[in-house]
A and B are shown apart, each in its own frame.
Chain A
Amino acid sequence: MIRNGTLGAIALTMLGVVAAAHNGATGVVMERMMGMSAMRDVMRDLAPMMQGQVPFDGITVQEAAAVLQSHAGDQMLALFPEEPIPASSFAKPELWQKWDRFAALSAELKLYSEGLAVAAANGLEAPVPMAAPEAGTDSMAGMDHSTMKMATEPEKFSVAELMGVSKRAAAATGQSGELAVASDLPAGPQFAAMAADDVFERISQTCASCHSQFRNGN
């Protein structure tokens, strides 16, 4: 019995050590982990909505977008002072070596989060611009069918895009999330013409781009 008790105590102690290793984050590391967790929860809640699995709620999306905004851009950068990385952190030192790139991704996250708040009003369908019917013609004949078609056509990448010779067009859903300079960023008003799920996917690609370069592990 004593032996079992001792083993049990050792096991409990080891569990405690493991738990401490995960929870050992303090100070700024703790702050950014909490920020990342808040964004993770928002992404978790929005993903089913963006796939049409649960009803779309524009207000919820706008609130979520506000959470993302509050952790992006300069707010995020302020939580990454250059310092030795503690064991509890997932950050990679490359983050400071390529600070401009990290800052650009952080700015991109901020911009897309703001865009999500704008596009939230559109739901899962981009608004279809309709040409005014020409006088004296049937209203259907006056509609811009090419624009309508674009919304439903399955996306397909070109040979050059597939082979990596040219970057994916920004209009395609699989936008690269690799925008490194501010001039590449789409102007704000365009978000009003985008479906919310398209903007949401850009946010996820920005997250993935940053994680692949600057975060250890999955």
Chain B
Amino acid sequence: MITGDAYRGAYLARTSGCIACHTNAAADGAALAGGAPLDTPFGTFVPPNLTPDPVGGIGGWTLDQFAVAVRQGVRPDGKALYPAFTYEFYADFSDQDIADLWAAFQTVPPVAEAAADHDLMFPFNMRWGLKLWRAAFMSPAVISPVFGKSEAWNRGQQLVTGAAHCAACHTGRNMLGGLQADEALAGNANLPGGSAAPPILASVLAAKGWTVSNMAYALRTGVMPDGDVFGGSMAEVVQAGTSFLDDADRAAIATYLLALPAGVAAPDIPVADAGTPAMVHTPGMVME
């Protein structure tokens, strides 16, 4: 039995957006007691109560059931969760990560009231249809450290393609909500609520004046290189997410994003080369 570390779990929960999505901060809702409704073309999703209450929340779950829900998107009753819950990005969480998250979730005061049900249109309200969706579109994150890339790049890869799930908004989706791998991080004009996420490909970011340094700063404060301050859902991402991260993690996210070759979703797994120093600074990384 792995012992979870509540601090590590809380940091990971914050990074992964658990708190941002499952807490209705605008309505002064209790932590993890259920999030603000999310309007999508398929209907309205309501992020459920994840507090340890056995009735209203997930207090009746076991650690194993929690692991399956987080990494595979399947509920304890065997039914699939909607991909509005971004479990695809959490697929590569380690057993230790899951135990840490579980320990952190136990620290939250239980709230007995369950969140409202989703309000989805036919046929999206037929949960069995998700089995087809999973077969056709599910793309669980697989994250491997890349030899020859810097520690910051590798940490950035882990955060961007995993926990921080940048692609959930910045990658286009098909008509059924499946992520379009060939458009990875190329922007999404159809976000829930009618907003848009710009492309965050390295070439585009560099052309707009982003550097590792000013992006790390923006992820902390919201201030962009042109002096404007993030609005829309990115302001929420910063406020409820990246502003809680360590400086090193914000710099890692920026390092990875600014080094990503345009239009390439994930780096090729390189051939190991004993002659390559482990700390290679990649193009786009600003040396200070």
Contacts and interface: CB of A to CB of B under 8 A. Distances in A.
Interface string A45-79: 10100010100000000000000000000000000
28 contacts: A40-B229, A43-B228, A44-B225, A44-B227, A47-B217, A51-B214, A53-B213, A154-B246, A162-B10, A164-B23, A164-B25, A164-B31, A164-B108, A165-B108, A165-B109, A204-B221, A205-B222, A207-B222, A208-B229, A208-B231, A211-B229, A211-B235, A212-B232, A212-B239, A216-B231, A217-B196, A217-B232, A218-B228
A213 interface: yes
A44 B226 contact: yes
A143 interface: no
Interface residues of A, number: 37
Interface of A is mostly: helix
B234 to A, nearest CB: 6
Contacts of B74: none
Interface string B12-47: 011000010001011000011000000000000000
Most chain B beta-carbon neighbours within 10 Å: one of A40, A201, A207, A213 = A207
Sort chain B's interface into a size bin. Answer: 35 or more
Interface string A138-174: 0000000000000000100101111111000000001
Nearest to B109: A165
Contacts of A160: 107
Contact of A43 (B13, B26, B223, B247): B223
Given A162-B244, A208-B230, 5 more contacts: A40-B229, A162-B14, A164-B23, A165-B108, A208-B239
Given A163-B31, A209-B239, A217-B231, A51 B213 contact: yes
A89 interface: no
Interface string B203-225: 00000000001100100111101
B62 interface: no
B57 to A, nearest CB: 13
B108 A216 contact: no
A159 B13 CA distance: 10
Nearest to B6: A159
B239 A207 contact: no
Contacts of A174: 220, 243-244
A42 interface: yes
Interface string A27-44: 000000000000111111
Interface of B is mostly: helix
Contacts of B163: none
B13 A163 contact: yes
B210 to A, nearest CB: 13
A30 B235 CA distance: 24
Nearest to B195: A217
A14 B230 CA distance: 29
Contacts of A40: 226-229
A215 B230 CA distance: 10
